[in-house]
Amino acid sequence: MSIFFCTPPSSSISPPPTTPHRHHKPPTSTSLPHKPSLISSLTGAALSFNLIFFSPLSPPPSIAADSTSSAVQFECREEDRRLEDEQRLRNAPELVTNEDIVTEAWQIVNDSFIGTDRSRWSPQSWLQKKEDVLGTSLPTRSKAHDVIRRMLSSLGDPYTRFLSPAQFSKMARYDMSGIGVNLREIPDENGEVKLKVLGLILDGPAHTAGVRQGDELLSVNGVNVKGKSAFEALSILQGPSETSVNIMVKHGNCGPVQSIDVQRQLVAKTPVFYRLEQTDNGNTKVGYVRLKEFNALARKDLFTAMKRLQGMGASVFVLDLRDNLGGLVQEGIEIAKLFLNEGETVIYTAGREPQNVKSIVAETSPLITAPVIVLVNKNTASASEIVASALHDNCRAILVGERTYGKGLIQSVFELHDGSGVVVTVGKYVSPNHLDINGNGIDPDYKKLPAWNEVAERLSKCQKQQGWNTAM
């Protein structure tokens, strides 16, 4: 699993979260294993950034009843050899050639890119681009990086771009585990989900403690994670910085099971600010929550803020998304679910094939049922627009302010084997009312704050129009 990231390129936040995960083939000119995306399943759990990724982990092939133990041993030896090769490349990035890096970036785009202007990209033209760029001399790593920049620029997509090693290293605040691991959901031969370590932050807490690429996560603090989503497991892993968490892992497909204590080390800072205000001559208590970005702490800290404001007597809420340029898509989705009824649509997503539209829905009852005002402006973008449209279209909130930015595209962040990376547009999203947000934005209901009784009346009318019998 990986994380989806959506943020306009002008943001100070480097865009990353989730699209259908694609297995990338190694470049044909090299045996270099391809590093998977930091962001992969649109509906899967969120992943961490700044991870050292290697070749995608495939589900272990089912072994026929007549398979011999020697065949199993051979499979284990092959996996051990693959992991050793990946470890060798991680410890010695100088072994990766300049041609390898360019080919790796080309392959990622070839496998994952969804163009905003399809006339600028086609399999044939992209194959010709590969032949053209590899026909030039690449004497230095700097030259290789320049070639990748020009190659990506030719796509005509402002969101698909190159990240230098220094730029990529700044993404540690998107590590959602707190221990520097990236988890992916893998179905086993029985169709059950197990969680494997897809990547590790080099010299991060988990890596230092002995967790290895390809390990299967079995439990967290004694809680069995078999069958849980990666997002659920990452939520269990999270905790205060400098505290310890115990994990049980199985090394590889054939290795031993080990209990490991890992010290959490959070890089992200809370993006949530909240306070209680009073209006209507002190008769109405308003819970005000400002969300600055969708990082790894967004959902957790917003949940805490809302619960505390409820405990302080807040009967209505203001969610301020002004100047929030986005961040992790999965965090935006999970935050929207806090306000929605079970079965209500958060967002629709589409990948390279337009007909493959998927809906993401809330699975539980809402945390907040009180009236909500969402403040938006021209810099409310991406994951912020997911939240704003989900609450608005499901009659959970009204929008106040300015038309939003209008970014309905999703990017994945991929690390290349020399520590640089590429951000690639891999999908798009559409609001629950089927509004194409990209390039259009979302119009507010009001430009200035209305009275709370007017808010309640508007939401009640909206609900009745949708056939609800719920009273505000």
Catalytic positions, written as ranges: 382, 407
**Count of C-beta atoms within a 10 Å radius of residue 4:** 35
Which two three-digit tokens encode residue 400?
């106040």
Q: Which of 43, 14, 21, 4 is nearest to 360 (CA)?
A: 43
Say which residues have a Cβ less than 8 Å from residue 85's Cβ, sequence separation at least 6.
31, 33
CA atoms within 13 A on the CB side of 30: 19
Q: Where are the alpha helices (DSSP H) in 312-451?
A: 329-337, 383-393
| Residue 283, number of CB atoms within 10 A of its CB | 9
Please, what's the b/e burial string for 239-257 (b: 16 or more CB within 10 A of its CB; e: otherwise)?
Answer: eeeeeebebbbbbbbebee
The 3-state DSSP class for residue 363 equals coil
Q: Are strands 316-320 and 372-376 parallel, antiparallel or unpaired?
A: parallel
Of 76, 93, 75, 94, the closest CA to residue 35 belongs to 93
Contact by Cβ (8 Å): 426, 372: no
Q: What is the CA radius of gyration of the chain?
A: 23
Q: Which residue has the tokens 């790894």?
A: 296
- Strand-pairing partners, residue 436, are 430
Q: How far is CA 445 from CA 21, 24, 472, in A?
A: 36, 44, 19
∠39-45-46 over CA atoms, to 5°? 45
